[in-house]
Amino acid sequence: MKRIGMLTSGGDCQALNATMRGIVKGVCNVYDEVELYGFEEGYKGLIYGNYRMLTGRDFSGILTKGGTILGSSRQAFKQMRVPDEKGLDKVEAMKQTYHKLRLDCLVILGGNGTQKTANLLREEGLNILHMPKTIDNDIYGTDMTFGFQSAVDIATNCIDCIHTTAASHGRVFIVEVMGHKVGQLTLHAGIAGGADIILIPEIPYDIDKICEAIDKRNKQKKGFTILAVAEGAIPKKRADMSKKELKEFMKTYPYPAVSYEIADEISRHTGTEVRVTVPGHTQRGGSPCPYDRVLSTRLGAAAAQAIVEEDYGYMIGIVNGETTRVPLEKSAGKLKFVDPDSSIIKEAKMIGISFGD
Ligand code: F6P
């Protein structure tokens, strides 16, 4: 008999359901008796004891279903040690729920913030496995997160669609891609969609360089320019600001997002018409792509194997094509940034893509 708790926390993405399906299929394949506890809306469900008893059947037919059948919510790691409005100690409450249900383990699907809390619960003595979810692919210790490739498909499709209209109108177009701190998604969608300029947080931009790249294309009679811009792209002039200075600066920031600032500056410098397109949360929506279905099924099965072996305290990741158990303490709290000196950046520059640096 196994008693397994599961929750999905943070922003949703494609393949959350596919991953849970992989875990449940794997475990049910080994044990005749399995009790599955699905906590609702992420850590909230664990804190307040809101859960549903599930069976293997609940996980049938969800391989292709986006979102999460458990629901999700953002519960900031920083707030975990802060009592709720009624004075409830959240960490103690989560431990109590776990022990009351006599769980053998808790499988937590989520991104960086979620992982930090997962590690905290491990430190508190719970048997934890973490599954790396995020369209940002920014979790340290795994080559890939599920959701990323599906989001690359959507953001790329957006750039593809913009391409045809940009070519017709001879305009400059900006497609703003998700990713506040890390530019993996923008980089990949930008290359896949044939963007001319890619701006990511790891490579602060200079607006003059961007305008030079646009001018160069105009001189070559290309007729239009497409920029793939990460939500977290930052100009060189603000890159050295401290967190406090930046917070102060943002209080009077006149634009809804950095893309609009870039658009404004490009039209002032070059006199060209600029349009901004923001695919936003569509990037996290819909069905997982085949790559993500395979990845999440493999990660789910690898988690099931760890449960069978009662080997806990890990993120189940993938490195060099092989699933692997990454100690949570080695991964939690670290981000996997784009290395500005990596070959993918050099190759992109080699074919003429500008990073505005
Ligand atoms: O971390 C995933 C992510 O989709 C980021 O790329 C994005 O910046 C953020 O979540 C958006 O969060 P929310 O859904 O809370 O607006």
Q: What is the 3-class SS of 75-96, one letter each residue?
A: CCHHHCCCCCCCCCCHHHHHHH
Cβ–ligand 1 distance for 178 under 6 Å, the answer: yes
Compute the distance from residue 72 Cα to the ligand 1 centre, in Å.
13
Q: Whose CA is nearest to atom 15 of ligand 1?
A: 11
The alpha carbon of 293 and the centre of ligand 1 are apart by a number of angstroms equal to 21
Residue of 180, 231, 335 with the most ligand 1 atoms within 8 Å of its CB, for mutation: 180
Strands lying side by side in the sheet with 128-132: 51-54, 34-39, 2-8, 105-110, 128-132, 314-319, 322-327
Q: Classify the phi-psi angles of 313: left when phi > 0, otherwise alpha if psi is within -120 to 50, otherwise beta.
A: left
- Ligand 1 atom with least separation from CA of 179: 6
Would the CA dihedral through 291, 296, 302, 304 be positive or negative?
negative
Residue nearest to atom 11 of ligand 1 (CA): 11
The whole-number pLDDT of residue 70 equals: 98
State the pairing for strand pair 172-177/274-277. parallel
User: Closest residue (by CA) to atom 10 of ligand 1?
Assistant: 11
- C-alpha to C-alpha distance for 266 and 227, rounded to whole angstroms: 11
- Give the model confidence (pLDDT) of 261-319 as tens digits: 999 999 999 999 999 999 999 999 999 999 999 999 999 999 999 999 999 999 999 99
Residue from 82, 78, 71 nearest 117 by CA: 78
Nearest CA to ligand 1 atom 13: 11
Which residues carry out catalysis? 136
- Measured by CA distance, the residue closest to atom 5 of ligand 1 is 179
The answer, yes or no, to whether any atom of ligand 1 lies below 6 A from the CB of 180, is yes
Q: Which amino acid is at 15?
A: A
Question: 38: Cβ below 6 Å to ligand 1?
Answer: no
- Describe the crossing of helices 258-270 and 207-219 by its angle, rounded to 10 degrees: 50
What's the 156 CA to ligand 1 centre distance in angstroms?
18
- Our answer on whether the CB atom of 186 is closer than 6 Å to any ligand 1 atom is no
In this prediction, the residues of the chain whose per-residue pLDDT falls under 50 are none
Task: Report the pLDDT value the prediction gives residue 170, as an integer from 0 to 100.
Answer: 84
DSSP, collapsed to helix, strand or coil, labels residue 237 as: helix
Query: Coil, strand, or helix at residue 63?
Result: coil
pLDDT of residue 223: 87
Q: Is 179 in the pocket of ligand 1 (CB under 6 A)?
A: yes
